Homo-oligomer: A and B are copies of this chain.
Amino acid sequence: MSTSSRFAVAVHVLTLMAWADDEPLKSDHVAESVNTNPVVIRRMLCELAESRLVISQTGSTGGSRLARQPEEITLLDIYQAVESRGVFSLHRHPPNPDCPVGVNIGAVLNDVLDEVDSAVEQVLANITLKDAVRRLKPCVRPGSNLDSRTAAVHRVSANGVKRKNGKEQVLSARN
C-alpha cells in the first residue's frame, strides 16, 4: 500500500497550531517546520478549513488557527479530513462474476475492510490534539523560561527509530 504522508503532515500542522495557542500561523512558518513548500501547506489548510478544523484569514496579518480547542479535536477528525479513502482498496477491476469465488469475494472483503476501518477509527477517535501536544515530552512549552530556539538545542536524533514491527527506519522513511 503506497500510504501517503498527508495524515502525518496534517497532525503536525494542527499540533503546531495547538502549540501556538490561538496565535494565527502563516503558511510560510508552518512550511518551515514541516520542511516543505508553503503551497503544500496552504492546500492542506484549505481541506482542514472545509472540515471546520481550522480558520484561516487572508490579508497582511492573516494566518490560520484552530477552529476548536485542542481537546475537542481528535486524530479521527484529522484523518477524515485529509484521508478520504479507507485503509485498503478492493480490486481495480471487478472480479469475474462467472466464478463462484469472484462473484462473492467483494462482499467478503468489504466486511473485512469495514472491520479494519472501524478498528483504525476507534484508535484515532481516542487521541485528541491535546494528547498529541502532551506527548511532545522532551520539548519545553512556550510559557517556560526556555524559548523555542533554546529548546532546539535539546533536540534528539530523529534517526534510527525502530517501529514495533522491527523494520528499522529513519523518521522520514516509513515507506
Contact = CB atoms under 8 A, between A and B. Distances in A.
Contact of A158 (B106, B122, B161, B170): B106
A21 B116 CA distance: 28
Q: How many copies does the complex hold?
A: 2
B5 A90 contact: yes
A14 to B, nearest CB: 10
Interface residues of A, number: 86
A148 B101 CA distance: 9
B12 A101 contact: yes
Most chain B CB atoms below 10 A, which of A4, A123, A127, A171: A171
Interface in A101-115: 101-115
Given A16-B101, A161-B107, A174-B85, A91 B34 contact: yes
Interface in A66-102: 75, 83, 85-102
Given A9-B91, A103-B158, 11 more contacts: A1-B1, A2-B4, A8-B109, A15-B101, A35-B93, A85-B175, A99-B148, A104-B156, A108-B132, A116-B123, A117-B164
13 contacts: A1-B6, A4-B88, A7-B88, A8-B89, A15-B101, A90-B174, A98-B155, A99-B152, A100-B151, A103-B156, A103-B158, A108-B135, A113-B163
